[in-house]
Amino acid sequence: MNPSSPPSDLDWIVPQDVSPMRIDRLIAARLENLSRTRVKALIEAGEVVADGAVVRDPARIVHPGARITVRIPPPVAPTQPAASIPLKIIHEDEHLIVVNKQPGLVVHPAPGHREDTLVNALIAHCGDSLSGIGGVARPGIVHRLDRDTSGLLVVAKTDEAHIRLAAAISAREVERAYQAVCWKVPVPRAGRVDGAIGRHPRHRTRMAVVTRGGRAADTRYRTLFDVGGEVSLVECQLGTGRTHQVRVHMASLHCPLVGDTLYGRARTPPAKLDPSVSAQVADFPRQALHAYRLALTHPATGSPLSFEASPPRDFERLLTAMQAARKNPAPALDGTASKRHL
């Protein structure tokens, strides 16, 4: 798509290698930033066209070769209140903002968090200059980070930027790299996890690697170094952006993140672990995960953009202790990891 001529709609042909599926599932897979509820609302409002005909049934089955058009709704004024929450802005122009989100900040309003989210802070900073594609609950939000995950996040200020950024993420053209501190060391030390992610069959608040009913998920990783085989710093690169993806995939390798009580268990650091590292991991208050690198093509100019963000102080203290006790160098990024399915 030519960046000099912004589209008014999102329009594409269903690839031949895609199996027939419900149109709401197809659109949700194409636009990962939109919830299924939002996609359903767009369909029922007549904003989706398949082969020239308006579709109002979310369960409509579409086949390879079908031409799908999702009409861009006019921007909707945000209904959430503005909130004076400090933002660490890495880059801003008329089309997008890149922020370094602090841990503990929820991205968009949800039960229990109506006025203290990143969206509220963005409304205060930008006023009405945020994309309305995601609906009034998520103005400008193209992708998300968990509440207790820190790091880089891009936000769209125009509908055209939102559509292009969402399409780029879906096409795996946006680089998103994380630093994760894990218990133990992944085997192999570098590889790829491609286990589909869905709801845990027994614990509904958790996600899991599943064999049926999940969404395709892809994470490449490499172990940068470890401390006595007990904890390791792992770089993870996302191919997809599923809920809790890094946390789930590392746990599937029996290497849950330090501080992650949802996918790991409370641990007493082993006696042989370096004392300074032991003190840091024992008291770490959240999952040790930081989105440190983001690279993308500017949705309006076509220019490459690349950003890196330093971790917050708690994560920095943990890394400093680990680096002082480091043992093993990083391997090349290759190989495929084994997966454990539920």
Task: Please say whether the dihedral angle defined by the alpha carbons of residues 5, 6, 7 and 10, taken in this order, is positive or negative.
Answer: positive
**Cα–Cα separations (whole angstroms), residue 279 to 126, 257, 271, 273, 284:** 41, 16, 11, 10, 9
Catalytic residue list contains 146: yes
Q: What pLDDT does 135 receive?
A: 62
Asked if residue 150 has pLDDT above 50, the reply is yes
User: At 45, phi and psi to the nearest 5?
Assistant: -85, 0
Q: What pLDDT does 65 receive?
A: 95
Give the residue-averaged pLDDT of 168-181.
Answer: 94
Q: How far apart are CA 169 and CA 182, in angstroms?
A: 26
Q: Which residue's entry shows tokens 């539920």?
A: 342
Asked if residue 91 has pLDDT above 90, the reply is yes
Pair type for strands 150-156 and 289-297 = parallel
Between 44 and 98, the higher pLDDT residue: 98
Asked if residue 336 has pLDDT above 50, the reply is no
**Contact at 8 Å (CB) between 141 and 134?**
yes
Measured over all CA atoms, what is the biggest interatomic distance in the chain, rounded to whole angstroms? Answer: 67
**Contact at 8 Å (CB) between 58 and 44?**
yes
Residue 52 region by backbone torsions, left for phi larger than 0, else alpha for psi between -120 and 50, else beta? left
Name the average pLDDT for the chain: 87
**b/e sequence 96-130, b meaning 16+ C-beta within 10 Å:** bbbbbbebebbbbbeeebeeebbbbbbbebbeebb
DSSP 187: S
Q: What pLDDT does 2 receive?
A: 35
Residue 267: CB partners within 8 Å, gap ≥ 6?
Answer: 183, 281
Q: What pLDDT does 1 receive?
A: 35
Name all domains of the chain by residue range, CATH numbers in brackets: 9-71 (3.10.290.10), 89-170 (3.30.2350.10), 175-324 (3.30.2350.10)
192, containing H or E segment: strand 190-193
Q: Which residue's entry shows tokens 């197809």?
A: 26
Asked if residue 230 has pLDDT above 90, the reply is yes
User: At 177, phi and psi to the nearest 5?
Assistant: -120, 140
Ranking 70-79, 80-89, 142-151, 333-342 by mean pLDDT, the lowest is: 333-342
Asked if residue 335 has pLDDT above 50, the reply is no
Asked if residue 299 has pLDDT above 90, the reply is yes
Q: How confident is the model at residue 33 (pLDDT cuts 50, 70, 90)?
A: low
Catalytic residue chosen out of the listed positions 24, 57, 116, 146: 146
Asked if residue 339 has pLDDT above 50, the reply is no
**Cα–Cα separations (whole angstroms), residue 106 to 109, 121, 148:** 7, 11, 8
Asked if residue 6 has pLDDT above 50, the reply is no
Between 82 and 251, the higher pLDDT residue: 251
Q: What pLDDT does 60 receive?
A: 95
Per-residue model confidence as pLDDT tens digits over 260-294? 999 998 888 999 999 999 999 998 999 999 999 99
Q: Crossing angle of helices 36-44/23-30, nearest 10°?
A: 120
**pTM exceeds cut of 0.75:** yes
Ranking 9-13, 216-220, 325-329, 333-337 by mean pLDDT, the lowest is: 333-337
Give the residue-averaged pLDDT of 64-92.
Answer: 81
At residue 292's C-alpha, the angle toward residues 256 and 278, to 5°, is 45
Q: What pLDDT does 210 receive?
A: 94
